[in-house]
Chains A and B, each alone.
Chain A
Amino acid sequence: MTPPTAPLLQVDGLSVEYVLPATRAFGHKRVMRAVDEVSFSVARGTSFGIVGESGSGKSTTAAAIMRLVAIASGRILFDGERLDALGGEALRRFRRRLQIVLQDPYSSLNPRARVAEIIREPLDIQEIGTRGERRARTDELLALVGLRPEAGRAFPHQFSGGQRQRIGIARALATNPELVVCDEPVSALDVAIQAQVLNLLKRLQRERGLTFVFISHDLGVVHYMCDQVGVMYLGRLVEIAPAKRLFSRPLHPYTKALLAARPSIHARDRVSKAAGAIAIGDPPSPTEIRSGCRFAGRCSAAQAICRREAPLLEPKDEQHEVACHFATP
């Protein structure tokens, strides 16, 4: 039995590798580490945000937690259970406890199914309840996400992006999961609609005590939604801190660069840009990672050691972890 203070989700040294096709005939296949030794934990009822550029491995991390991609190494503990070690029917049954909300509200709903069928699908797959109970639950879920009961008879293409994302959220909540992984849930939506969907997610979290892993490239969204935030760069977590702390006092040069690159209308934010917290050039291809700190090539504070030794993610104090040889406030 786990004590009540134990985290709901604990990711420990998680790595995911993709095998790339050989560039030459009969050449060696290359392995790309999309996620490299990622560790973090999420307390029950809280939101953990993962931010990073595209290609940083944040969505792959989400897929690994959902057991949608093969895990190369590391452990995933869900409520004390080894989620990474589950397989077959045990994993299939376990899936009701964690669900995912996907980015694209257009491709994430089966175009040939009616909305009620889509929302009911997890219940059908997990064989939860009788036919009547499933129907009642579907109506309940529609109401929960602010859709009218008639919506159940319609097809996805009859809805707007925001409404479709509500359908996706209703589907994710059907089995009453404890953990919901939100993989860029609003980045495909109009800004005005984003706020509505974010507020819906926040309300649902409050009412049902949900735990979120929230993937986004949008710092503002993460700041608004999350209690704890991890910053990913080229497959590694480079900094973890409470959201307020991370946004007010970032320690890692990459986090600083990210925050500085945020478009802002406030003059004081522009000052920090001038302070040199800018990443130089583009991120290297994840297939061409050399030794040392992955950010060294773009870092304005890089020293010789940064190119030799990769810094480990280490706690600076009880709240703040950072992977940098020269982390300064």
Chain B
Amino acid sequence: MTVRSQGPQSPLAEAWAIFRRNRPALLGLALLVLIVAMTLVGPTLYGVDPLDIVSAPLLPPGDADAPLGTDYLGRDLLAGIISGGRASLAVGLSAALLTMGLGVTVGALAGFYGGWIDRLLMRTTEFFQVLPPLILAMTIVLLFRPSLATVAVSIGLVSWPTPARLTRAEFLRIRELDYVRAARAMGARNRRIIWRLILPNAAPPLIVAATLTIGAAILFEGGLSFLGLGDSNAVSWGLIMGMNRPYIFEAWWATTFPGIVLFATVLAVSLIGDGLNDALNPRQRER
């Protein structure tokens, strides 16, 4: 009760103050900004077409024409990594968006309304949870034509149960809190209670989950592309790795460099997620 008299400080400002002091999280943020910048402005700075055959195949790194070497067809690896980021990040981001959209909607409805709605939705969630995600995603992609969109949709369809359960748990907890009771006593409609009261208070763990989902989705896309189930017309990190997999002993660089970038991206996103978790976790804020 000593520092209560300070000026008005919003929970968001407070969270940022904590995040700012978290070194690994800041490192992750910097790394991610770097990677995103690379995929956005990289192609204009390094104007080599990733699909052009520029040199001899499997050229080691350090070559004048291809700084990171070439792949099994003689395409520039650096150009591939730079433009491949666009597909990887786009699929990762849209898959994460879909995952969270589906998961939060299902979890919110189940947690708020309870009863048969909850039972129906949770049984459906469990049905998806017992299927191996990679097999399910592969099946979905194969049912349609592999493209960036179908890859994103298939990742979303196999990943939503986790945020759904998290959202449901938060809704179950918050809907019983006194400020929700008070709002009911004031005559608040369900829509207002869900959107204005429960969702903002459930947001911190969901934001963390969303961040980690982006990382998982990028990794998932890499996996699908590696197995040859990605969009073969759009260069992505996973695709490059998958294509060069047979030559891994002759040309380690062709699989390793895209792998390092993919690893760095997922690491950056995870560090940010951990930082957000610390910053937004109310239990740690009540010091």
**Residue positions of A touching B, CB distance < 8 A:** 66, 68, 91-93, 95-96, 99-100, 102-104, 107-112, 114, 121-122, 125-126, 153-155, 157-160, 168, 171, 175
Q: Could you tell me the distance in whole angstroms from the C-beta of A12 to the nearest C-beta in chain B?
A: 21
Per CB-CB distance, the 4 closest pairs between chain A and chain B, nearest first, are: A108-B178, A95-B187, A92-B187, A107-B178
Looking at the complex, which one of A107, A125, A153 makes contact with B187 (CB distance below 8 Å)? A125
Q: In the complex, what residues of A have CB within 8 A of residue B178's CB? A: 102-104, 107-108
Q: Number of contacting residues on B, CB 8 A?
A: 26
Query: Which chain A residues border B185 with CB–CB below 8 Å?
Result: 66, 68, 95, 99-100
Which of B1-9, B28-36, B119-127, B237-245 faces chain A?
B1-9
Is B177 on the interface with A (CB-CB < 8 A)?
Answer: yes
Contact with A along B4-40 (1 / 0, CB 8 A): 1110111100000000000000000000000000000
| B145 CB-CB contact with A under 8 Å | no
Q: How far is the CA of A93 from the CA of B186 in the complex (A)?
A: 9
Question: Could you tell me the distance between the alpha carbons of A128 and B188 in the complex, rounded to whole angstroms?
Answer: 13
Distance to closest chain A CB from B77 (angstroms): 48
Assess the B197–A110 pair: CB atoms within 8 A.
yes
Given A125-B192, A155-B10, A160-B1, do A109 and B186 touch, yes or no (CB 8 Å)? Answer: no
Chain A, residue nearest B184 (CB): A68
User: Is the CB–CB distance between B11 and A171 below 8 Å?
Assistant: no
**Which residues in A have their C-beta under 8 angstroms from that of B200?**
112
B143 at the interface (CB under 8 A from A): no
Pick the residue among B8, B11, B187 that contacts A96 (CB under 8 A). B187
On chain A, the residues within 8 Å of B117 by CB distance are none
In the complex, B183 has a CB within 8 A of chain A: yes
Whether B182 is near chain A, meaning CB under 8 Å from some CB there, is: yes
In the bound complex, residues from chain B placing their C-beta under 8 Å from that of A68 are: 181, 184-185
* A105, closest chain B residue (CB): B178
Q: Are B186 and A121 in contact (CB under 8 A)?
A: yes
Asked whether A154 and B188 contact (CB < 8 A) given A68-B181, A102-B181, A107-B179, the answer is: no
B201 touches A110 (CB 8 A): yes
Q: A108-B179, A108-B182, A111-B201 are in contact. Are A155 and B187 (CB under 8 A)?
A: no
**Can you list 12 pairs linking A and B with CB atoms under 8 Å apart?**
A68-B181, A92-B189, A95-B185, A95-B186, A99-B185, A108-B179, A110-B179, A110-B197, A111-B282, A114-B8, A125-B187, A126-B187
Residues of B within 8 A of A154 (CB): 8
Residues of B close to A153: CB separation below 8 A: 8
Residues on A with C-beta less than 8 A from B11 are 111-112, 155
The answer to whether A122 touches B197, judged by C-beta atoms less than 8 angstroms apart, is no
User: What separation, in Å, do the CA atoms of A96 and B179 have in the docked complex?
Assistant: 17
* Cα–Cα, bound, A103→B182 (Å): 11
**Nearest B residue (CB) for A123:** B186
Inter-subunit contact A125/B201 (CB<8 Å): no
Complex Cα distance A104/B200, Å? Answer: 21
